[in-house]
Amino acid sequence: MSMVFAPRMAEAAPSSHAGASWSPYDNNGGTCVAIAGADYCVIAADTRMSTGFSILTRDYSKIHQITEKCVLASSGFQADVRSLQKNLDARHQIYQHQHNKQMSCPAMAQLLSNTLYYKRFFPYYAFNVLGGLDNEGKGCVYTYDAVGSYERSGYSSQGSGQTLIMPVLDNQLKSASPLVLPPRESSTPLTENEAVDLIKDTFASAAERDIYTGDGVEIVIINKDGIRRETMPLKRD
């Protein structure tokens, strides 16, 4: 039997149409931050929605209140964010019908993680920060990646300005060195007004250097008295 040699394949030419295919995702930019305190939680997000180098609107809210004591802030692809918010709202309604009470913040945190992982192979392009008060009334902040990995922490930032803001929060809120004893608690020792002041300053700084952050910042503060909102204008360039 004669040996059949596989025909020599011509060397594939390097692909010239780099990045020409359609993508289901878009990035609308924006930054979200949350800080947890002993009896409060502050969640903030900028109000700019952009695509490419253009601004779509200067006045878009990325913050969504899901339960009485739990607020979700998400940056990324706002169409997926909106869809995720509706999904969680529906699941929360069902929970309320079945259990005759609102979901606690840790429970909602788990639900969000499961919802995100459910779409592990076609993810929600949403970078989430969940903030609120836990069952004991202490502030809690949960931070997520796009597919649902989450962790409770004292503070967090997500989005385009994340890398600009996180080091400042680490410096101001974390203990000076992880080697110093006694170790700090998960919640941060700032008062509510100091936390709001810090958030305003970090957003102003992020707006200086990140082109996708700006226009305004919406700040939501949750404490035992309820929920209150503040807005502050940012640079519009």
Partner 1 sequence: MTKSSVIQVPPKGGFSFDLSRRNAMLQQQGAKLPKYRKTGTTIVGLVYKDGVILGADTRATEGEIVCDKNCEKIHYLAPNIYCCGAGTAADTENVTDMVSSQLALHRYATGRDSRVVTALTMIKTHLFRYQGHVSAALVLGGVDVTGPHLHAIYPHGSTDTLPFATMGSGSLAAMSVFESRYKENLTREEGMEIVSAAICAGIFNDLGSGSNVDLCIITKEGKEYLRNYQQPNPRSYTRSKGYDFMNGYTAVLSTQIRQLRQHVQVLEGDRMDEE
- Of 107-115, 141-149, 151-159, 208-216, which segment contacts partner 1 by CB under 8 A? 208-216
CA 133/CA 45 separation, integer angstroms: 18
Cβ atoms within 10 Å, residue 53? 7
Would you give the DSSP letter of residue 147? T
Q: Which of residues 38-77 bind partner 1 (CB under 8 A)?
A: 50, 53-55
Q: What is the Rg, in whole angstroms, of the alpha carbon atoms belonging to the chain?
A: 21
Would you give the DSSP letter of residue 152? E
> Judged by CB under 8 A, which of 82, 93, 208, 229 binds partner 1?
208
Phi/psi for 78 (5° steps) reads -65, -25
For partner 1, which is the closer residue by CB, 112 or 198? 198
4 touches partner 1 by CB under 8 A: no
For the CB of residue 197, give the shortest distance to partner 1 in the complex, in Å: 6
Q: Which sign, positive or negative, has the C-alpha torsion 166, 195, 48, 26?
A: positive
| # residues contacting partner 1 (CB under 8 A) | 33
* Chain center to CA of 140: 14
For the CB of residue 32, give the shortest distance to partner 1 in the complex, in Å: 16
137 touches partner 1 by CB under 8 A: no
CA 70/CA 34 separation, integer angstroms: 12
- Of 38-46, 72-80, 141-149, 200-208, which segment contacts partner 1 by CB under 8 A? 200-208
> Judged by CB under 8 A, which of 179, 182, 225, 226 binds partner 1?
179
Hey, what are 210's tokens?
């990140």
Would you give the DSSP letter of residue 204? H
185 touches partner 1 by CB under 8 A: no
21 touches partner 1 by CB under 8 A: no
Which residues, other chains included, contact 15 with Cβ-Cβ below 8 Å and sequence gap of 6+?
A: none
Where do contacts with partner 1 occur on this chain (CB under 8 A)? 14-15, 18, 50, 53-55, 160, 164, 172, 176-177, 179-180, 194, 197-198, 200-201, 203-204, 207-212, 232-237
